[in-house]
Amino acid sequence: MEYNKFEEIVSQAEVLPAVLQVEAHPYYQQHQLKEKISKYGTKLEAWYPLGHGDKTLIEQPIFQELSDKYKKSKVQIILRWHIQDGNIVFPGANKPEHIKENLDIYDFQLTDKEMQEIGKIDCGKRYYYLESDNAAKTYLGMKLDFDAQP
């Protein structure tokens, strides 16, 4: 979401948004947006936190290096980076072994230097683009029937 759209919402909101869910991963780290929304107390919730599972992202050498050091998987290193970077993170995972692994990230800590090294692979690469403003209007108009869900 562009920041001006967020400002449009907060200018009319009676309750400020606690979270803003937007695409965020090591290739698209969103530091400027996070700084701007922080003045409203809004936290960033990472969408596509693993870059939609993109191997070129997960196979970046820095993640292999840290995986070897901490005896954690490369995905666990990425998720740990999210947490330490202040993001709220819900990775998508269908495989039970992935879900289990993704919860096991709270017994190690990346150093400031390692966080900075991961910071360097931010290249502004996104995986998702909203097709048009019309698509945005469609999403805004959606009324989901949660009561009908099993």
Residue 76: Cβ-neighbour burial (10 angstroms; 0-12, 13-18, 19+): buried
Residue with the shortest CB distance to ligand NAP = 92
Residue found under tokens 């090294």: 117
Distance from chain centroid for Cα 85: 10
- Does the protein bind ligand NAP through residue 50 (CB under 6 A)? yes
Shortest distance in whole angstroms from residue 16 CB to ligand NAP: 19
- Does the protein bind ligand NAP through residue 44 (CB under 6 A)? no
Q: How many residues are there in the chain?
A: 150
Binding segment for ligand NAP (CB under 6 A), chosen from 3-11, 44-52, 132-140, 142-150, is 44-52
What tokens were used for 31? 């530091």
Binding segment for ligand NAP (CB under 6 A), chosen from 2-10, 35-43, 47-55, 107-115, is 47-55
